Chains A and B, each alone.
Chain A
């Protein structure tokens, strides 16, 4: 699988690069679908935050509020039968964008037996192999190598699938990310590395942590091209996904998408957010909110206020039901303590 050594090249190369992606030209129905999915994530996460405050959710709980356009826009472009997705600990939104039952997710957050991991994983460790969603990983950056392995399996099996591996601007500084970049390009694995740049790795801004804060360039020394995308615009996200998928499916190897996004909430629930001003957050909410943006587009396209209101109500109802379920469904049986440690018996 190795390649022949290449001769030295001048610093400016004319090697092929992906085209500048165009915003996705969504139909009214598709726009409405994006709106619904993003709103579901927003309301779900708000509810999760509330349940956390009530003591019903424990441990770490990383909310996706503000970043909804990324998961919804990108995943809407995937082939659900063949493509795989993997992400880090901020994983609720990616699962909801896949249409995974909010009840299974919320009851995992409350640690109940009906949770998608039987209550044994929690917020950071959720999986749905049925949807080719491979987690939900708690170690920053681990999903990048694991996702590269999923891409390896796609290529090995020649199944036409592409892996979408999400990680943050913080994980982008981990060493294994570059080990993975190297091998992914060496072997031209079908993978899209999605850097969700929400500008803060916990409390450390990219300005303080990244010597190259233009993350889309991080693959250059491995000959992996990158595209910077407005991650607050679901149509830009979808458009970039189309371009990236075309690149990878054409056998050109991996590609990086840097999604410029923003999280409104703290890193986890107990984050005092002293590292940024309230004004900064409010300004993003007022001027760049991904849901407001699509709502405006829908209104421009003649969707009536009451139709949007009924969408909103239906989502609220769905989220409330998932919360009620998650509060009332029982905790796992005590015997579950010892199951699933190993698959086989020895």
Chain B
């Protein structure tokens, strides 16, 4: 019985990838630890090692094949004593096929094998654990209505958030020689999450600079360089690590213009992924939006889709003010329409209505927008039309758009992937109380993560994070329908 070698998942959210290269051929003997193939995602290239020993009997997916689903059988390995040449692959001896069965492991077959250790290791089942972050990720494929700022007839190009961010940086670096990127693994490694991919090749090591692991130091160097007239983009591998550097973000970057009576500016962008990523535990799953949004002197941006990511990052690089630009790792690989325009720059401080509705307003930002759109679709099925607002900028907050929508719908829910206490939701609720009280037909609802550090276990993580069901429930409550 040959061992089925399956397309591996290189990350918890990976669903497919490219089989870039085979490093073994049929007839080769492999032993555990041998590198058999190179597998690529939009994020990374990984070497795929053998765990079992045997002879390569059949390669079922040719190298260079894109969109190979995680769990698909890509190779058959003959075990010791087995005749490799007699192994029949699913490709049936024909040229290795790129298309495969969608359900490579029928449940019945998997059940049969239970209790049989040898067969279990030969036919491992690809796990797809239901987690909270997977729900967030899946909701994040939802695209809102087109930005009204896009001129009629503009060609739209499907672009990942990752590419959109990279394009924004590259375009600004082309037009302004003062702009440079600095951070851990931004240059030679092409970015820990591949956001800076290709920048080193185009701009060289003077402008794309790998730093040691030393957040406090390079955040300060970036701020100092901005004070000295440059336009730094400082990448934090994640914003969790920016806690090491928060002194320079707050005390140096945010306050200097005021303290100097407008004499000394700090035009810098601090950017990187923020919020919960997939199953990375408490120290790597924190939305710092509310922290930074509480500080005068800072601009805080947290985009959802690729067009906003591009247009707002370009604006962030251009402004004279210091910007905290909060991305989301789960969003990097998601594709959205981006207008094909020479210079797509969006205004900072303007929210966007990503779905129009008349019954209730859902306010969100970053990955929460996907959850809100999903909830809005479900609610539409039940006859409730929700208007969804993506704040996009957390500071300065676009109160006007929120209050205008509230005046229309008279009911409001905030959906925030972050802690409930002292969150952006708290601020929106305060604004509604102070300035929209007469428009409210029900108390404002709040849907946020549970008030606990992020757990690792899949079931607990799922319990901790927001999801569409909770948003739906909160909306029904403010609509007095359930």
Contact = CB atoms under 8 A, between A and B. Distances in A.
Contacts of B347: 346
A147 B256 CA distance: 14
Contacts, number: 161
A117 B255 CA distance: 12
Given A1-B209, A142-B248, A134 B264 contact: yes
A153 B347 CA distance: 28
A182 interface: yes
B: contact size bracket: 35 or more
Contacts of A248: none
A199 B180 CA distance: 40
A129 interface: yes
Interface string B446-479: 0000000000000000000000000000000000
B257 A340 contact: yes
Nearest to A342: B321
A228 to B, nearest CB: 25
Interface stretch (A65-73, A118-126, A263-271, A307-315): A118-126
B227 A180 contact: no
Contacts of B210: 1-2
Interface stretch (B126-134, B135-143, B155-163, B218-226): B218-226
B396 interface: yes
A341 interface: yes
Contacts of A147: 224
Interface in A163-180: 175-176, 179-180
Nearest to A174: B216
A259 B445 CA distance: 61
Contact of B258 (A134, A145, A176, A340): A340
B318 to A, nearest CB: 9
Given A152-B228, A180-B221, A343 B260 contact: no
A129 B264 contact: yes
B228 A134 contact: yes
B225 A153 contact: yes
Interface string A108-130: 00000001111111000111110
Contact of A156 (B230, B257, B258, B319): B230
B209 A149 contact: no
Nearest to B262: A340
A258 to B, nearest CB: 21
Given A120-B258, A176-B216, A149 B228 contact: yes
Contacts of A119: 261
A255 to B, nearest CB: 18
Contacts of B257: 340-343
B299 interface: yes
Contacts of A154: 228
B261 A135 contact: no
Contacts of B230: 152-153, 156-157
Given A148-B224, A152-B228, A127 B262 contact: no
Interface in B240-269: 247-248, 251-252, 256-265, 267
Nearest to A189: B221
Given A134-B264, A135-B260, A183 B214 contact: yes
B221 A149 contact: yes
Interface in A199-237: none
B296 interface: yes
Contacts of B232: 149
B221 A175 contact: no
Among A128, A129, A175, A186: residue with most chain B CB under 10 A: A129
Given A142-B247, A149-B220, 10 more contacts: A84-B228, A139-B247, A139-B251, A142-B220, A145-B219, A157-B229, A179-B216, A180-B221, A341-B258, A343-B320
